[in-house]
């Protein structure tokens, strides 16, 4: 299972200082040159935010963020004299970007931004000092900067100490920070998931009290934070925080709904805890996607499918007289709920279809029994999974959370057998691109008809025949098609 940190030991200050020095030396070709260029033009420049935080954690990146006293048009002139390529899509927010060799640089003018109570977009105002710029940032670990070219560390809010103790805290009061930008509440959960840090109790309290304020944030920005959280190394930490504070009730209500009431007469496993465990096990299985399906990790689709696979259970739960609890058709209901939620969060149709299909198919394997499926059933399993087959393998395996070792081993061996049969049939029949043994032109020639609905019906008949029988010769397929056509009258 994915390793989630528990009461991590504080970092030593000397180690933090050494990590920063090493990283600054590595990125010297950028920071020394840019620092000198901005200084020569009479402007301040500082490396800021994530790159400084990551340097202290010993993490390397070639994407560097800077803040400056220069206005965007002044920054634009300097970067064009230095970089290899430039862009200004963020000009409205004071940001100009460029690429220099392997380095990607973004420089933003000192600024402050805030929402009014009914706004979905921040109001950007330029600032005139580094201290002011740092003060408007979300968390203390992101409110540190290194002045250039002097390499002097600016840490007015104790970010080094918070980073050493692995805690998420705001520079000012969390209430003011979240009032300025409510999305920071979700960012707190996201950074907990990314860094494995705890969240300051005052921050948790403010998130709980101000959860309703997230509703002024656009669905797209909420979606982007949710994707980053789910794709983080420790998503359970962030998701549990969203549920604890009530934010999940506003942005992903299907998750807290999994906390079903239980009693001594009607027993079933904890669906909420089961779901988080399935997510962690799906993450552990992600290397399969890279080797078999060429899907790089982290894979949002497989992770989100794991998170949503049982969201149909609350609506389908039924109690029987013998104490048994059933969730009939929760796969179909869950797929509909998943598609509806993802549509509300403005996901792409491709992502909605991928996750929705996985949720709908996640129980299909359990009809396999001990291997009783015919080859026809295996073909249909592959056909229905389509391009999501490798992800379905991961989700189905991750969905086994039983503590009964014998049962878990039996399920694993059974799925091993199904995958082996799929591999064998794929090698023999090219299952991934399964199609009828006659194409549309051959159908029309054979039946003496033109394009139209009847060609589609004939094609569907031949496809079902192909799934049932495997590959056929053209002669046998033609004979079967004539027989089918004659039977239609």
Sequence-ordered alpha helix ranges (H) in 128-246: 130-135, 159-164, 174-180, 183-195, 201-209, 219-230, 235-245
Q: Which long-range contacts (CB under 8 A, 24 or more apart) does 350-354 make?
A: 351/300, 351/301, 354/301, 354/305, 354/387, 354/388, 354/391
Predicted confidence (pLDDT) per residue in 154-193, tens digit: 999 999 999 999 999 999 999 999 998 999 999 999 999 9
pLDDT at 6: 57
Place domain 6-165 in its CATH homologous superfamily: Beta Polymerase, domain 2 (3.30.460.10)
Report d(CA 280, CA 398) in Å as an integer: 8
pLDDT at 18: 85
Other C-beta atoms closer than 10 Å to the C-beta of 18 total 13
Report helix, strand and coil shares of the chain as percent, to nearest 5.
60, 10, 30
> For 172-252, which CATH class?
mainly alpha
Given a cut of 50, whether residue 266 has pLDDT beyond it is: no
Given a cut of 80, whether residue 268 has pLDDT beyond it is: no
pLDDT at 9: 65
Given a cut of 70, whether residue 8 has pLDDT beyond it is: no
**Contact predicate 415/365, CB 8 Å:** yes
Residue 125 CB partners (closer than 8 Å, separation 6+): 111, 112, 113
Query: What does the mean pLDDT of the chain come to?
Result: 89
Gyration radius of the chain over CA positions: 28
Given a cut of 80, whether residue 314 has pLDDT beyond it is: yes
Percent of all residues in the chain with a pLDDT value above 70, rounded to a whole number: 93
Predicted confidence (pLDDT) per residue in 351-360, tens digit: 999 999 999 9
Given a cut of 80, whether residue 262 has pLDDT beyond it is: no
Report d(CA 230, CA 236) in Å as an integer: 8
């Amino acid at each position: 299972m994915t390793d989630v940190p528990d009461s991590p030991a504080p970092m030593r200050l000397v180690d933090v200082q050494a990590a920063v020095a090493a990283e600054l030396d590595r990125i010297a070709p950028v920071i020394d040159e840019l620092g000198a260029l901005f200084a020569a033009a009479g402007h301040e420049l500082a490396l800021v935010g994530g790159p400084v935080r990551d340097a202290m954690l010993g993490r390397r990146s070639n994407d560097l963020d800077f803040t400056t006293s220069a206005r965007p048009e002044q920054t634009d002139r300097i970067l064009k004299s230095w970089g290899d390529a430039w862009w200004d899509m963020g000009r409205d927010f004071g940001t100009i970007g460029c690429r220099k060799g392997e380095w990607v640089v973004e420089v933003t003018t000192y600024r402050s931004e805030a929402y009014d109570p009914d706004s979905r977009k921040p109001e950007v105002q330029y600032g005139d000092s580094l201290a002011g710029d740092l003060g408007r940032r979300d968390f203390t670990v992101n409110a540190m900067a290194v002045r250039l070219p002097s390499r002097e560390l600016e840490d007015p809010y104790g970010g080094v100490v918070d980073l050493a103790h692995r805690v998420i805290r705001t520079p000012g009061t969390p209430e003011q920070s979240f009032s300025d930008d409510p999305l920071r509440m979700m960012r707190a959960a996201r950074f907990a998931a990314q860094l494995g840090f705890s969240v300051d109790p005052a921050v948790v309290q403010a998130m709980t009290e101000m959860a309703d304020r997230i509703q002024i944030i656009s669905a797209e920005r909420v979606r982007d934070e949710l994707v980053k959280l789910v794709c983080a190394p420790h998503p359970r930490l962030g998701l549990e925080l969203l549920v604890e504070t009530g934010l999940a009730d506003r942005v992903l209500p299907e998750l807290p709904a999994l906390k079903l009431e239980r009693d001594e007469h009607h027993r079933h496993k904890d669906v909420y805890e089961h779901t988080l465990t399935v997510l962690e096990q799906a993450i552990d299985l992600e290397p399969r996607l890279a080797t078999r399906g060429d899907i790089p990790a982290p894979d949002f689709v497989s992770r989100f499918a794991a998170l949503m696979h049982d969201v149909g259970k609350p609506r389908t739960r039924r109690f029987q007289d013998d104490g048994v609890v059933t969730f009939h058709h929760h796969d179909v209901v869950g797929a509909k709920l998943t598609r509806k939620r993802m549509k509300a969060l403005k996901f792409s149709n491709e992502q909605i279809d991928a996750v929705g299909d996985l949720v709908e198919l996640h129980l299909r394997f359990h009809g396999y029994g001990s291997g009783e499926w015919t080859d026809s059933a295996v073909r249909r399993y592959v056909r229905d999974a389509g391009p999501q087959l490798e992800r379905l393998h991961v989700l189905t395996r991750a969905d086994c959370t039983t503590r009964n070792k014998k049962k878990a081993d039996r399920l694993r061996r059974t799925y091993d057998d199904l995958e082996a049969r799929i591999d064998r049939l794929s090698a023999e029949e090219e299952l991934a691109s399964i199609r009828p043994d006659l194409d549309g032109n051959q159908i029309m020639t054979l039946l003496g008809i033109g394009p139209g609905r009847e060609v589609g019906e004939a094609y569907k008949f031949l496809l079902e025949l192909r799934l049932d029988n495997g590959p056929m010769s053209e002669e046998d397929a033609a004979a079967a098609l004539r027989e089918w056509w004659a039977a239609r009258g």
